[in-house]
Structure 1
Amino acid sequence: LMLTGMGAVLGVLLGHSFLAALVATSDQAAVATLKPWVFLNQELLILVYALLTGLIASLIPAWSAYQTSIAKQLTKA
């Protein structure tokens, strides 16, 4: 879950960084009006969805490990 959160935050920051680089290197008027370091409320939804996806993805193997009988696994030859 921590890895998912760090990846989501890093992804949003990298997206803004690439937009800043594009604005700095482009001479087109349409691109020059973009503000790369403005964070929108919808970007918080990206972080929430990423954390929920990571939580669901981590619960599946955790549930499988919970159902495994340790005694049976240790007595297998």
Structure 2
Amino acid sequence: MQYCIDHPEEVSKIAKVKAQVSEVKGVMMENIEKVLDRGEKIELLVDKSENLRSQVSKFISYSLKFETWAVILKTALDKK
């Protein structure tokens, strides 16, 4: 305690450093929250892209079946 009384300028420096550390800590916490949010958004995008890929695969399969059916129907109609 005597040291604080004898060296008030040092106490001021320590208080300044503590304030800076606190500020940096706050910024880092915000950055971590943003990274976690981005991670969640990336996971959602991955899920959506996988779903889209699955739908595209089904669409291609159905379109090939439809095209085959159309060719068969056209061939049958041309024979008449």
TM-score (norm 1): 0.41
Larger Rg: 2
Q: Specify which structure has the higher proportion of helix.
A: 2
TM-score (norm 2): 0.39
